[in-house]
Amino acid sequence: MAKTPRYFITTAIDYPNSRPHIGTAFEKLGADVQARYRRMEGYDVHFLMGNDENTVKVARKAAELGKPPKEYCDDMARQFQDVWRALDISFDEFIQTSEPRHHAGCQKFIQKVYDAGYIYKGSYEGWYCDGCESFKTEKDLVNGNCPVHGTPAARRSEPCHYFALSKFQDKLIAFYEEYPDFIQPESRRNEVMTLVQTELRDVNITRLGQEWGIRVPFDPDFTIWVWFDALLNYITAIGYGGDEERFKKWWPAEMHVIGKDITRFHCALWPAMLMAAELDTPKRVFGHGFVYMKGEKISKTLGNIVEPMDIITKFSADAFRYYFLRECPFPGDGDFSWQRFEQLYNADLANNLGNLYSRVITLVTKNYGGHLEGTSVAKAGVIYTEVDTETTVKQVQEHFEACQYNQALERIWRQVLDPANQYADKKEPWKLVKTDLAAAKQVLHDLVEQLRIVSILLKPFLPRTGKTIYESFNFKQRWDEVRHEDVWVHPGLGEDLRILAELENGKVKPLFPRIA
């Protein structure tokens, strides 16, 4: 019996000094779509998310609120997970870096790297950004400010322990050459290659005088620098330092999904850390772009936050998911505005997809008692478009593999939904039912087949909408078992089609009520 392939995917862990914003959610959406796609492809998926809690800013925020740091972190972890569940993010595990399992794993790891001779004591002086909780070079700064947070860097001097990152220059370059797809997209790879070839320096990986954090086992006066600690969540969550069998099952990760601003940590520091500890490196790191508002990156520091719940509560999780996955290219940057949200929602969701669904359900219910008998089904997709459905599915799958979600959705709309609506406008079944019930029946059966195709293709993107459409009809295969190839492997219903959607006064609830 063939072994089920496994797929371990992660997102960056978030600072819980405030609630998540739409820029944070953009990352989680991209990873969620990939996880859902892999499950559809038959993979055993483990999708990890979490919060980055051993930070100065978190301890500060807790003190402002008069709470112990751990109590504050636990409450924020609950709030973060509530938002992710509302957005239908299908994570399998959520790690808090304040958990004992993470502390134990970090201490085991840093001790191993120290024993291997890659950590040494010294002192450090340089420019430091509180927001990033990392040191910056003169070249990194823009007019003395952190380029990410726009705040002035502070001069800082302290004794420390260094990780000998510079010793891994040749190994990292050889690694990138052997695995050219490790860093995605290509633009991020070029950036990291330049850094490693020209600016790879040893890294200060401890902090002195901090009460909140993980103690360095070989020098307890120090805590582990938050970045060295945070990167380790990817292995401590799956058992490193506590459950070696589970760790062996899932590591190495198939994909780390991160923001482009932290690519260097994940693509230079992280693989070097793993090499130092004689562990496998992840297979792929994908650095996604940012979401902007009027040209400004959305961030807590800039104060231009839009919370996901503002959109989810007013509209729906799938409306949120569609906008950011369709409008914001995952490998690049996107923009959010309420005006554009309304335009895209009405055009693509309410008018295109929603109207087709409502029309078909209403016509079959009103004119055929919700039951079409004795109707044959044409080969999926061929009657509407020059590109057959099998080709469309394969093209969509290629976009999934490259995390080009906006292009996948574009293809679904333009090669399946638009032709289906054009076919409906040409055949006018709402008129045809008055003159030729048999001919109208065939048209409606064909349109149901297109809705079946669309529901399957949308499963990773709009999980609730896809399920609602699919389960509105008596399709033979269970929704939970549907995979992409089922679009053409299990075409149609043959002799008997029934409406299963719940109706009120003969009408079905709109998928996406139009924004007036």
- Give me the mean pLDDT over the 13-36 stretch: 94
Q: Is the pLDDT of residue 441 over 60?
A: yes
pLDDT in tens, 234-279: 999 999 999 999 999 999 999 999 999 999 999 999 999 999 999 9
pLDDT, position 382: 41
Cβ atoms within 10 Å, residue 414: 13
pLDDT in tens, 87-128: 999 999 999 999 999 999 999 999 999 999 999 999 987 788
Closest C-alpha among 195, 182, 199, 202 to residue 271: 182
Residue 311: strand pairing partners: none
Residue 68: asked if its preceding bond is cis (omega within 30°), the reply is: no
Look over the chain and give the mean of its residue pLDDT values, rounded to a whole number: 91
Closest C-alpha among 356, 349, 381 to residue 446: 381
pLDDT, position 379: 46
pLDDT in tens, 306-362: 888 889 999 999 999 999 999 999 999 999 999 999 999 999 999 999 999 999 999
Angle at 207 between CA 205 and CA 210, to 5 degrees: 150
Q: What percent of the chain has pLDDT over 90?
A: 74
d(CA 93, CA 91): 6
pLDDT bin (cut points 50, 70, 90) of residue 295 is low
**Which residue has tokens 């800082």?**
156
Q: Name the CA radius of gyration of the chain, rounded.
A: 26
CATH class of the domain whose range is 339-508: mainly alpha
d(CA 174, CA 168): 10
Residue 308: asked if its preceding bond is cis (omega within 30°), the reply is: no
Residue 122 contacts by C-beta under 8 Å, 6 or more apart in sequence? 159, 160, 161, 162
Strand positions, DSSP E, 133-178: 134-136, 154-163
Residue 136 contacts by C-beta under 8 Å, 6 or more apart in sequence? 126, 127, 128, 129, 146, 153
Type of residue found at 328: C
Residue 442 contacts by C-beta under 8 Å, 6 or more apart in sequence? 375, 376
- Give me the mean pLDDT over the 428-449 stretch: 93
Choose the weakest-confidence range: 178-182, 188-192, 292-296: 292-296
Q: Coil, strand or helix: which one is 122?
A: strand
Q: Is the pLDDT of residue 298 over 70?
A: no
Tokens of 506: 């003969």
d(CA 319, CA 350): 10
DSSP designation for 251: P
pLDDT in tens, 369-422: 999 886 555 444 444 445 588 889 999 999 999 999 999 999 999 999 999 999
Give residue limits of the domains in the chain: 339-508
Sign of the CA dihedral running 289, 483, 423, 462: negative
Residues 5 and 44: beta-carbon distance below 8 Å? yes
Cβ atoms within 10 Å, residue 64: 10
Angle at 466 between CA 337 and CA 352, to 5 degrees: 55
Cβ atoms within 10 Å, residue 94: 18
d(CA 151, CA 130): 9
Sign of the CA dihedral running 98, 99, 102, 105: positive
Closest C-alpha among 319, 377, 345 to residue 494: 377
Pairing mode of beta strands 291-293, 334-335:
parallel
Residue 99 contacts by C-beta under 8 Å, 6 or more apart in sequence? none
d(CA 318, CA 341): 13
